[in-house]
Amino acid sequence: MSDPYGYNQPIERPKTLTYAVYGMGLGGLLTIVSTAFLFTMDTAEMKSLMVTEMEKQPTYDPSVFDAREMVDVIVPIIQIGGAVFGVITLGVWIWMAVMNGRGRNWARITATVLGALSLATSLSSVGNLAGNAALGGATMPMSAGNVVLAVLDPLLVIAILVLLWLRPSSAYFSAVGAARQRQRQGQHPGYYTG
């Protein structure tokens, strides 16, 4: 018996979306690497720089708090907070990769919003670093690896977002959404690979 509506045809995920999903996996890997860099940075140099900057502030009063003691408390908090943020970010990368790979349009929209926020944060960070350097202000020490990641991450996000919204990816999201809609309405759901 033939199927005039094409419901029995599998919906094949396009390469554009597969590459976007791989890119999200790479984003998760970069998150692990950048979190590891947080624990390999020169904390002595970072502490020294933070103490110097605190002592320069016009409102700094050594009788209220000692800058060195404050920095000894702040640096581990930064490292632990960075590790927690890294784990959460890794989870979001994995979640977005799985859900986008399954053709969930809400995941594509969520990934787009998160990607836009990531790009805005990256641009803001680069602007702050450039502004501090131009004005002779202090900047936190960064390893060559951190600099490479700071450049790679926004490029990866842009590539993923473009791949998610290319015509083949959009067609896949539409086809999967239509098949899920038919399934909810009790019609023959068709086949999809998500």
Higher pLDDT, 48 or 119: 119
Mean pLDDT of the chain: 84
Distance in angstroms (rounded) separating the CA atoms of residues 48 and 51:
5
* pTM score above 0.85: no
Residues 122-137 pLDDT 10s? 888 777 766 666 666 5
Paired tokens of 74: 């702040």
> To the nearest whole percent, how much of the chain has pLDDT over 90?
46
Contact 179, 9 (CB under 8 A): no
Average pLDDT over residues 92-110: 97
What confidence tens digit (pLDDT) does each residue in 134-159 have?
A: 666 555 556 667 778 888 999 999 99
- How many residues would you count in the chain? 194
Positive or negative torsion for Cα 45, 47, 49, 51? negative
- Is pLDDT at 28 greater than 90 in this prediction? yes
pLDDT for 75: 87
Beta-sheet pairing, 191-192 with 10-11? parallel
